[in-house]
């Protein structure tokens, strides 16, 4: 099972994404009002493993993703979808609606002066998000 984590450590970020993550993380340390939230259709185990490989290991306020963990016997992986049931969103997979998840985070932890959202592999826009005026997607 540890082989999976070793392989995850070999994954690479898109050019510039690692520096962006480290800069935002440092800003969260300098100013507690700044939050870094990773929103991914992947899973939290691989994401946190990958973030730990950065020159400055990044600890986000929250990773919004499906949950993956080792079984107690550590002989298999357990996958738990972020949403336990279908969300009804026509744009997202039924296991994670990014718009609903981000809106819930903002509602529970905001308000925020500015919200920046960027994505990888063409996922830079959340199609169903009720866009607050202070949201910048790039």
* Interaction between residue 89 and Zn ion (CB under 5 A): yes
Q: Which is nearer to Zn ion, 63 or 96 (CB)?
A: 96
Contact 136, 124 (CB under 8 A): no
Minimum CB separation of residue 87 from Zn ion in Å reads 6
The region of 14-22, 24-32, 63-71, 91-99 touching Zn ion under the rule CB under 5 A is 91-99
Q: Which is nearer to Zn ion, 3 or 108 (CB)?
A: 108
* Interaction between residue 91 and Zn ion (CB under 5 A): yes
Minimum CB separation of residue 118 from Zn ion in Å reads 17
Contact 25, 43 (CB under 8 A): no
Question: Which residues partner with 79 through β-bridges?
Answer: 68
* Interaction between residue 97 and Zn ion (CB under 5 A): yes
What does the alpha-carbon distance between residue 51 and residue 58 come to, in Å, rounded to a whole number? 5
- Record the tokens describing residue 16, joined without a space: 């510039």
What does the alpha-carbon distance between residue 61 and residue 135 come to, in Å, rounded to a whole number? 18
Closest by CA to 42, choosing from 86, 96, 116, 103, is 96
Q: Which of 38, 99, 105, 129 binds Zn ion (CB under 5 A)?
A: 99
* Interaction between residue 128 and Zn ion (CB under 5 A): yes
Contact residues for Zn ion, defined by CB under 5 A: 89, 91-92, 97, 99, 128
């Amino acid at each position: 099972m540890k082989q999976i984590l070793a392989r995850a450590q070999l994954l690479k970020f898109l050019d510039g994404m690692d520096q962006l993550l480290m800069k935002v993380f440092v800003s969260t340390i300098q100013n507690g009002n700044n939050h870094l939230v990773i929103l991914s259709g992947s899973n939290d185990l691989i994401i946190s493993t990958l973030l730990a490989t950065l020159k400055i290991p990044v600890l986000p306020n929250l990773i919004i993703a499906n949950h993956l963990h080792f079984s107690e016997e550590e002989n298999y992986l357990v996958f738990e979808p972020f949403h336990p049931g279908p969300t009804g969103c026509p744009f997202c997979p039924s296991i994670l609606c990014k718009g609903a998840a981000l809106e819930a985070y903002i509602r529970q932890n905001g308000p925020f002066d500015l919200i920046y959202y960027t994505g990888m592999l063409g996922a830079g826009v959340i199609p169903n998000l009720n866009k607050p005026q202070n949201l910048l997607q790039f």
